[in-house]
């Protein structure tokens, strides 16, 4: 793995809504989470079309493409990450777990791994 010179911080997560049950979240990560409050929420399972629409519905989506000399991130890889989290949601939220936050600094291709990832599983409802 080699670090990306132009990572974007994104939040990918799973929450348990008291009405709808498990839901996948995507949006701006890092310090931007609290400032921008930019996220999309979708019910699993996600296919590639739904994952792409979820990404496109956020303001952060515009920063994922190429701009100011920075290359675009690999959207296919990001879509795959959302789909894999969607597939895992049943196991993640089993028993008493109510939330998963996967914060990634994304600047990767299919051959690379994310530069950084932290995972938090909590026993509380948002």
Q: What is the pLDDT of residues 1-46, one digit of tens each?
A: 344 555 778 888 888 888 988 889 999 887 777 788 899 999 999 9
The pLDDT value recorded for residue 115 is 46
pLDDT averaged over every residue in the chain: 76
d(CA 87, CA 115): 23
Write down the domain spans for the chain: 8-122
pLDDT tens-digit series, residues 104-120: 555 444 344 444 455 55
| Per-residue pLDDT tens over the stretch 35-93 | 888 999 999 999 999 999 999 999 999 989 988 888 888 899 899 989 988 988 766 65
Supply the pTM of this predicted model: 0.76
Secondary structure class of 86 (helix, strand, coil): helix
CATH 3.30.470.20 fits 8-122, yes or no: yes
What end-to-end distance do the CA atoms of the chain give, in Å?
34
User: 76, 104, 113, 92: which is closest to 44 by C-alpha?
Assistant: 92
């Amino acid at each position: 793995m080699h670090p990306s010179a132009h990572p974007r911080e994104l939040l990918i997560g799973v929450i348990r809504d008291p009405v709808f049950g498990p839901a996948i979240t995507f949006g701006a990560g890092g310090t931007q989470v609290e400032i921008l409050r930019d996220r999309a929420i979708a019910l699993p399972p996600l296919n590639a079309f739904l994952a792409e629409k979820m990404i496109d519905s956020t303001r952060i989506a515009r920063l994922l493409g190429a701009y100011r000399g920075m290359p675009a991130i690999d959207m296919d890889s990001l879509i795959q990450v959302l789909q894999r989290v969607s597939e895992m949601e049943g196991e993640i939220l089993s028993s008493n777990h109510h939330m998963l936050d996967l914060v990634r600094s994304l600047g990767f291709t299919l051959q690379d791994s994310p530069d950084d990832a932290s995972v938090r599983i909590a026993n509380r409802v948002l």
